Structures are given as structure tokens and as C-alpha cells.
Amino acid sequence: MSRLEATAAAIGSRFGERARRAVSLPEELTVEVPPADLLEVCLALRDEPEFAFEQLIDLAGIDYLDYGRSEWATESATATGFSRGVERGAGSAAEGPRFAVAYHLLSVSRNLRLRLRCRCAAGEPPIVDSVTGIWAAADWYEREAFDLYGILFRGHPDLRRLLTDYGFIGHPFRKDFPLSGRVEVRYDPAKGRVVYEPVSIEPRTLVPKVIRKAGPPETAGG
């Protein structure tokens, strides 16, 4: 048994249904934790010697709006690559709440990585507990996720926007946020100041809608 599989088995034995293994790429380990158990599980993963995930190396928000849905009808589609016509079928992450938070942990002493995923409870705004009391590095990461996705982190010491401008409306990484934004900024010489106005850009589809016919693979050379 590899060290990764041994760690997965140890997490399953220690936490049971509170930390269920999720589908991930080969040589990666992803565990899903309910919001109510997030802090307890994170504290154990940091402090218990068999885990020893001392470092939080990244934290990111996730928006599952329209995840797994096709954008247009295709005659055939693939589950790999960047096809926007993919139908993922049952069991996709879209079946849960819309927003989630991913935590990327590193055990320096054991040279192992672990990804936690915690889905925010359904409703608006999405809320999850802050892990700044466990990993101080989460401070700015959580502010970034709040700014871009509108996820609130309960218990964060200073939850303010981090990347967008003062007075910014909305959360630009949400899937339903318009690509052109909602307001535009320009300098008005008559007023002698910067003014905010509704966006004048015409929204347009940027993804080519191509239906590829099934056929023999191309061969190189001749």
C-alpha cells in the first residue's frame, strides 16, 4: 500500500463519514468534510502525528453553478479535454450546494499533500467557519474567496475585500457574474472626477460552438 493510500485509510478510520474520500486525479487525495465538522477535522489533521499537515498552502472558493451541464447540443461529446458540450451524468459535484471551499494542505514532515473540500450550507450568502485559528496563512486566502465568490468565513478577524476596488458591487468569480462586469469607470472632465456608469459593452459568446464528427484518428507523416 502506498503512503497516499495509507493516509486515506487512516483518515477514513479516524473520521468515518465526517471525512469521505472524493473522486480525484491519480496520485492525489481529496477528502470532503461537512461544514459542522470542518474545524475539528482540520485541527486533528494538523496536530495528530499520523497526519501532521502543518501547512495550509492554498485555499480557494468553488462555484458549481451549471457544473456538468451542456452549453449546446452536440452529436457526441467526450468527458476529457475542454469540450463545453459534455454531459457528466449522475454523481457530479453539481448535486450538492452551489458553493464550496477547497483547502490544500502540506505535511512537510511526511512529504504528503491533501485536499479538503467543504461545501457551504445552501442559501445566500454562503457561510463556512474560518480556519485562521488553525492555519494563520488562511487570513488573506479567505479574504480573497470572500471578495471573488462572496463566501463568508465565520470567525475571520478582518473579513474585507482584498482584490477589487472600493465600492465594487458583486463577486466577479461567480459563474453568473457578467464577463463585462456591471459598471464601467471613466474620467468625466466636466465633473472633474471619476464617474461610474452602466456597462456599455455588448455581451457576446466567446466559446466557438463546434460539433466535431467522429472519425479515424489523424496520423502523422506519410
Q: Which of 111, 139, 163 is the endpoint of a domain?
A: 163
Cα–Cα distance measured from residue 57 to residue 79, given in angstroms and rounded to the nearest whole number: 29
For the cut 50, the answer to whether the pLDDT of residue 201 exceeds it is yes
In terms of domains, do 49 and 107 share one? yes
Cα–Cα distance measured from residue 63 to residue 166, given in angstroms and rounded to the nearest whole number: 24
In terms of domains, do 100 and 179 share one? no
Size (the chain), residues: 222
Residues of the chain with pLDDT > 70, as a percent, come to 78
Number of domains within the chain = 2
In terms of domains, do 41 and 110 share one? yes
- Considering the entire predicted model, what is its pTM? 0.77
Confidence grade of residue 96 (pLDDT, cut at 50, 70, 90): confident
Least confident interval from 30-34, 115-119, 163-167 = 163-167
5 DSSP assignment: H
Cα–Cα distance measured from residue 189 to residue 195, given in angstroms and rounded to the nearest whole number: 10
> Is 111 among the domain residues?
yes
Q: What is the pLDDT of residue 214?
A: 59
> Is 183 among the domain residues?
yes
Give the CATH number for residue 102: 3.30.460.80
Q: Is 188 left (phi over 0), alpha (psi -120 to 50) or beta?
A: beta
Q: Kindly report, residue by residue over 146-174, the tens digit of the pLDDT.
A: 999 999 999 999 999 999 887 788 899 99
Residue range of the domain that includes 106: 3-163
In terms of domains, do 69 and 158 share one? yes
Grid cell of 221 as nine digits: 507523416
In terms of domains, do 151 and 187 share one? no
